[in-house]
């Protein structure tokens, strides 16, 4: 089947997507009966919070997230990744603590510019060092491979020595303020820890995948960002953790990443076959979460990148309109979108990077398992599963994209929405590439 913009239309894993995309007749965008549009509401109605059992096997019995009150997880089921998940949660939580410290009193000298002109801060480096150190301490007997966003090349320059000292102090202060680890690291230890993230990943063995600050621009604005950590085993994401220090604990639907709730800081976690969970950062109690159950696009709200440079807002807006979505887009940075989707704040995440952009595995690995374990679907625009087995796509010179472009994440796999999105995507990719 011919492809447009690199999208293989017939190879989709979802029969619905493939069926509508490969039809020679006009896609059935308007063939589904739509209920009368409802008035715009700032808050989702209560029924949308109703828990939906994940498609995968149920996890431990616990109450579902509903109104912001969490209830204890009974006990995590005996999975082979339990130890790794506990280590990942510790690492991401501690890294979040360092990021929060930096964000509260950000210095001009804390921000630098990478070769691709994107910003990087002492918190990105500090977070990566902490995650690397904690994983190694918690899992000493395991072969360690980490695919992570940052490296220490810029920090090794003479003019960066003050910055490196600041990062080292932040790492030590974070460890001592938390109290679990009585260690003190040197600048050399920090450089080694950061550069442990140079693994290439790939289809074999186990690889940790880390974005130490996903959404650095959001972090600098004081908005959303996430520490995103996942474990790949034989090319598949087996667990994922998202620490979102600025994400309100209650719904952000239609609120552009903000809410009146003053409790903020969420830790999302998921492991394959065990469901997805959310807890307040630094609180032990977790509650099972589920994607929203709406089948009617008029009731659905959709998420997209805050940055117009990261995703084509016009295109997603046009698709949303075609679908009959009434609510304005919720634009937030980072994989906090995946976390918010997983707990049902919205129904759809549309993502259309500009032509030529190659997605990085650390920008989607953790988020995608959180959404899928919450009962959602994360695919590219052709309905293919996201492929995390082809390496990192590090930098811009690599040629192994993990997704077709554009990519799209659907949180709710119920047929009406899936079918309509599929049809709309087909139309829009067709017109976009004409
Ligand atoms: N050029 C380009 N095109 C599309 N998407 C891009 C691009 N550069 C970065 N990203 C996405 O930016 C988000 C966070 O990336 P980073 O952790 O590198 O931080 S930064 O905000 O870009 O500084 C994260 O997604 P969103 O926050 O959803 O936009 C990345 O996947
Ligand atoms: Mg980053």
Whether 62 is covered by a domain: the verdict is: no
405 lies in a domain? yes
| Ligand 1 binding pocket includes 305 (Cβ within 6 Å) | yes
Q: Does 388 lie in the same domain as 411? A: yes
Whole-number Cα distances in Å, 269 to 37, 126, 246, 381: 35, 22, 16, 25
Shared-domain flag, residues 179 and 306: no
ipTM of the complex: 0.93
Residues 6+ apart with CB under 8 A from 424: 27, 29, 319, 322, 323
Q: Are residues 309 and 397 in the same domain?
A: yes
Q: Is 261 known to sit in a ligand binding site?
A: no
- pLDDT class for 120, splitting at 50, 70, 90? very high
For a pocket test of ligand 1, which of 305, 330, 346 has the largest count of ligand atoms closer than 8 A to its C-beta?
305
Cβ 144 under 6 angstroms from ligand 1? no
Residue 80: partners with Cβ closer than 8 Å, 6 or more residues away: none
Domain housing 180: 82-289
363 CA: nearest ligand 1 atom? 31
In tens, the pLDDT along 356-388 reads: 788 899 999 999 999 999 999 998 877 788 889
Q: With a 6 A CB cut-off, is 314 part of the ligand 1 pocket?
A: no
The residue out of 289, 305, 333 marking a domain boundary is 289
Co-location of 285 and 297 in the same domain: no
CA–centroid distance, residue 25 to ligand 2 (Å): 42
Q: Is the minimum distance from the CB of 114 to ligand 1 under 6 angstroms?
A: no
Q: Whose CA is nearest to atom 2 of ligand 1?
A: 310
Question: In this predicted model, what pLDDT tens digit does every residue of 195-239 receive, in sequence order?
Answer: 999 999 999 999 999 999 999 999 999 999 999 999 999 999 999
149 is annotated as contributing to ligand binding: yes
Q: Say yes or no: 225 and 271 in one domain.
A: yes
Percent of the chain clearing pLDDT 90 (strictly above): 58
Q: Which of 119-128, 215-224, 273-282, 313-322 has the lowest mean pLDDT?
A: 313-322
Whether residues 248 and 303 share a domain: the answer is no
Which is nearest to 239 in space by CA: 77, 3, 29? 77
Protein residue closest via CA to atom 11 of ligand 1: 310
User: What is the domain count for the chain?
Assistant: 2
70 φψ region: left (φ > 0), alpha (ψ -120 to 50), beta (else): beta
Ligand 1 atom showing the smallest separation from residue 120 Cα = 23
Nearest to 420 by CA among 335, 322, 286: 322
Q: Examine residue 71 and state whether it is found in any structural domain, yes or no.
A: no
Whether 216 sits among the annotated catalytic residues: the reply is: yes
Domain C-terminal end among 289, 311, 344:
289
At 65, the pLDDT band (50, 70, 90 cuts) reads low
Instruction: Give start and end residues of each alpha helix (H) in 146-237.
Output: 161-178, 187-195, 216-221
Closest ligand to 116 CA? 1
Task: Kindly state whether residues 300 and 265 are assigned to the same domain.
Answer: no
* Statement to judge: residues 279 and 170 lie in one domain: yes
User: What ranges make up the beta strands (E) of 144-296?
Assistant: 146-148, 206-214, 226-233, 236-248, 264-271, 276-280, 286-289
363 is in an annotated binding site: yes
Q: What is the CATH number of the domain that holds 398?
A: 3.40.190.80
Do residues 307 and 230 share a domain? no
User: Which residue in the list 216, 250, 294, 372 is annotated as catalytic?
Assistant: 216
Of residues 136 and 17, more confidently modeled:
136
Q: Is 236 helix (H, G, I), strand (E, B) or coil?
A: strand
Tokens of 423: 């049809």
CA-nearest of 133, 196, 193, 132 to 164 is 193
In a domain, 421, yes or no: yes
pTM: 0.81
Residue 182 lies in a domain: yes
DSSP state for residue 111 in the 8-state scheme:
E
User: Ligand 1: distance of its center to the CA of 365 in Å?
Assistant: 14
CA dihedral 270, 271, 276, 282 (to 10 degrees): -40
247 falls within a domain: yes
| Closest to 329 (Cα-Cα) out of 343, 307, 349, 344 | 349
Q: Is 124 a catalytic residue?
A: yes
The answer on 36 and 184 residing in a single domain is: no
Residue 141: which CATH number? 3.30.540.10
**pLDDT per residue as tens digits for the range 397-434:** 343 345 544 677 877 776 667 767 776 766 655 555 54
C-alpha 376: how far from chain center: 13
Record the tokens describing residue 328, joined without a space.
């304005």
Choosing from 110, 124, 223, 345, the catalytic residue is: 124
Binding site annotation covers 108?
A: no
Ligand 1, atom 1, residue with closest C-alpha: 310
Name residue 209's beta-bridge partners: 147, 230
Looking only at the bridges linking them, the beta strands covering 236-248 and 276-280 are unpaired
Reported as a single tens digit per residue, the pLDDT across 304-354 is: 999 999 999 998 998 888 888 999 999 999 999 999 999 999 999 999 888
Annotate 180-189 with b (16+ C-beta within 10 A) or e (fewer): ebeeebeeeb
* Ligand 1 atom with least separation from CA of 214: 17
Ligand 2 centroid distance, CA of 149 (Å): 6
Residue nearest to atom 15 of ligand 1 (CA): 215
Residues 236 and 100 in one domain: yes
Least confident stretch, 20-34, 236-250, 265-279, 398-412: 20-34
Residue 387 lies in a domain: yes
Mean pLDDT, the chain, as a whole number? Answer: 79
Of 260, 289, 318, which marks where a domain is finished?
289
Ligand 1 touching residue 313 (CB < 6 A): no
Q: Whose CA is nearest to atom 5 of ligand 1?
A: 310
Q: How far is the CA of 98 from the centre of ligand 2 (A)?
A: 15
Are residues 250 and 332 located together in one domain of the fold? no
Within a domain: residue 360?
Answer: yes
CA of 244 to the centre of ligand 2 (A): 13
């Amino acid at each position: 089947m011919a492809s447009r913009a690199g999208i293989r239309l017939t190879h989709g894993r979802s029969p619905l997507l493939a069926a509508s995309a490969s039809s020679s007749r006009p896609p059935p965008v308007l063939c589904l009966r739509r209920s009368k549009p409802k008035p715009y509401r700032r808050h989702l109605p209560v029924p949308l919070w109703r828990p939906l059992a994940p498609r995968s096997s149920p996890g431990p019995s616990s109450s579902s997230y509903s109104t912001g009150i969490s209830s204890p997880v009974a006990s995590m089921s005996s999975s082979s990744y339990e130890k790794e998940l506990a280590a990942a949660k510790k690492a991401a939580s501690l890294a979040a603590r360092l990021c929060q410290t930096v964000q509260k009193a950000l210095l001009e000298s804390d921000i630098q510019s990478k070769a691709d002109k994107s910003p990087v801060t002492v918190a990105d480096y500090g977070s990566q060092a902490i995650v690397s150190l904690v994983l190694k301490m918690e899992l000493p007997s395991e072969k360690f491979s980490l695919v992570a966003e940052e490296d220490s090349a810029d920090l090794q320059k003479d003019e960066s020595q003050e910055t490196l000292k600041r990062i080292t102090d932040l790492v030590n202060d974070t460890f001592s303020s938390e109290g679990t680890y009585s260690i003190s690291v040197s600048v050399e230890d920090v450089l080694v820890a950061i550069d442990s993230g140079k693994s290439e990943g790939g289809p074999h063995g186990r690889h940790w995948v880390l974005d130490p600050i996903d959404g650095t621009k959001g972090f600098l604005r004081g908005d959303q960002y996430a520490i995103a950590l996942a474990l790949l085993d034989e090319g598949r994401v087996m667990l994922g953790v998202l620490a979102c220090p600025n994400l309100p604990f209650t719904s952000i639907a239609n609120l552009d990443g903000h809410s009146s709730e003053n409790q903020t800081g969420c830790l999302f976690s998921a492991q394959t076959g065990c469901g997805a969970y959310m807890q307040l950062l630094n609180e032990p109690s977790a509650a099972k979460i589920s994607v929203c159950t709406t089948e009617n696009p008029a009731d659905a709200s959709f998420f997209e990148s805050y940055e117009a440079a990261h995703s084509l807002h016009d295109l997603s807006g046009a698709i949303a309109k075609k679908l009959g979505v009434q609510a304005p887009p919720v634009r937030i940075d980072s994989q906090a979108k995946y976390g918010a989707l997983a707990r049902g704040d919205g129904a759809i995440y549309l993502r259309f990077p500009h032509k030529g952009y190659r997605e990085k595995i650390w920008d989607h690995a953790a988020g995608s398992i959180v959404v899928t374990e919450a009962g959602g679907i994360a695919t590219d625009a052709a309905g293919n599963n996201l492929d995390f087995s082809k390496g990192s796509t590090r930098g811009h010179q690599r040629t192994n994209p993990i997704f077709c472009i554009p990519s799209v994440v659907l949180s709710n796999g119920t047929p009406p929405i899936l079918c309509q999105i599929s049809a709309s995507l087909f139309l829009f990719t067709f017109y976009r590439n004409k």
